[in-house]
Amino acid sequence: MSGFFDGRLSSLQPYTAGERPENMKNIIKLNTNESPFPPSRKAISAAKKAAKSVNLYCDPTADKLKSALAEDLNVNKKNIAVSNGSDEALAFLFRGFCEKGAVYNDITYGFYKVFASLFGVKSTVIKLDDDFTVPIDAYDAAEGTAFIANPNAPTGIALPLSDIERIASFDENRLVAVDEAYVDFGAESAVGLIGKYPNIAVVRTFSKSRSLAGARLGFIVADERVIADFERVRNSFNPYNVNSVALAMGEAAVRDKKYFEKTRREIIDNRAELTGGLKNLGFDVLPSLANFVFASPPDKDAEGLYERLKSRGILVRHFRGERTGEYLRITVGSKRQVSAFLAAVEELL
């Protein structure tokens, strides 16, 4: 530490991002749940056009993107706010909506813990059951804003909407943030519940199913009063949080429904291929509705396999820890990547 750093942050442990090799040539990158497909061509043309006016500030109200999203999700524009990646939306929720603390699972998206510590939010951590499912009833006794990734990461396991409803209806004074980063790959979205439950806030991203991870674009869908409060935080931090190129790409991507359907369908197909292939090789594979699978090799030496795959130019993610350490999180890639991955694993076993 420099000696100038705020002592209250002395124990801050930042998020560890997945590896990003300098020379990406010949690397099969299945470690950060990106899309293997390029963005929609319409999004790329929109980016070129938008780039010509970056001498001007971007639209701080993100009006056109919100219109496209509102149409797509069948909600009002007043139910939407946009963010620089969904991570920023989560950060604003931790900063502005967690006076009574935050509640989340022990095995879930790593950023919840990081934001809690950055913003000084007290956390209650709920242990997943032995089969990595969420003990829904345990949320009742825990005070604070609930953060639930659905499907969960890194397990890929999804909760039915009735479970989200159960948590939201048990205590209407608690906000339930549903992080739907992976919902487009087969789970049920809670967006349809926001009319009935003003205490549900759905967080979404363009990083996984829209091929825009590097553009940094996310959004939140909630009751308009929640959105108004969210906007107070956003406008107190950076009204220009999403740049004009990202806004234009996002709008075009939402409007290009055909490309979205085609690419997400292919990921769902490839996930079945990857899951079947791993099971044939003796892996334990958790039932995933995301664009990754969480799988444990027959000898449970996930870290060893991670290293051996890496030496062959195949990157997957390994999370040390008592329960996660025996598993690898493998992003569902293109057909070619899935076959190359399975062939390599077969040889290495």
Ligand X SMILES: *Cc1c(COP(=O)(O)O)cnc(C)c1O
CA distances from 38 to 207, 264, 292 (A): 11, 12, 18
Does the protein bind ligand X through residue 211 (CB under 6 A)? no
Q: Please report, as residue ranges, which positions from 144 to 183 form the binding site for ligand X (by CB under 6 A).
A: 149, 153, 179, 181
Closest to ligand X by CB, 209 vs 270, is 209
Q: What's the CA gap between 64 and 331, in Å, rounded?
A: 32
Least distance in Å: CB of 113 to ligand X?
13
Q: Per-residue string for binding with ligand X, 279-318, x by CB under 6 A?
A: ----------------------------------------
Does the protein bind ligand X through residue 184 (CB under 6 A)? no
119 burial level (CB within 10 Å; 0-12, 13-18, 19+)? middle
Q: Which of 36, 39, 85, 297 binds ligand X (CB under 6 A)?
A: 85
DSSP output for 45-62: HHHHHHHTTTTSPP-TT-
Q: 63-73 vs 244-255: helix axis angle to the nearest 10?
A: 20
Q: Which of 39, 50, 81, 87 binds ligand X (CB under 6 A)?
A: 87
CB-based contact 293:275 (threshold 8 Å):
yes
Q: Which of 31, 105, 155, 207 binds ligand X (CB under 6 A)?
A: 207
Using the rule CB under 6 A, give the single segment among 55-63, 156-164, 205-213, 279-287 that binds ligand X.
Answer: 205-213
Closest to ligand X by CB, 72 vs 346, is 72
Least distance in Å: CB of 25 to ligand X?
24
Peptide bond connecting 151 to the previous residue in cis, omega within 30 degrees of 0 = yes
Does the protein bind ligand X through residue 256 (CB under 6 A)? no
Using the rule CB under 6 A, give the single segment among 1-9, 82-90, 302-310, 317-325 that binds ligand X.
Answer: 82-90
Using the rule CB under 6 A, give the single segment among 37-45, 83-91, 235-243, 258-266 that binds ligand X.
Answer: 83-91
Q: Rounded to an integer, what is the distance from CA 247 to the centroid of its chain?
A: 19
- Least Cα distance to 234 among 126, 88, 107 occurs for 88
What is the rounded radius of gyration, in angstroms, for the C-alpha atoms of the chain? 20
Q: What's the CA gap between 121 and 108, in Å, rounded?
A: 17
Using the rule CB under 6 A, give the single segment among 12-20, 84-92, 250-258, 330-338 that binds ligand X.
Answer: 84-92
Q: What's the CA gap between 149 and 48, in Å, rounded?
A: 34
In the numeric block, the tokens 């048990």 are attached to 170
Does the protein bind ligand X through residue 34 (CB under 6 A)? no
Least distance in Å: CB of 149 to ligand X?
4
Least distance in Å: CB of 115 to ligand X?
11
Binding site for ligand X (CB under 6 A): 33, 85-87, 109, 149, 153, 179, 181, 205, 207, 213, 218
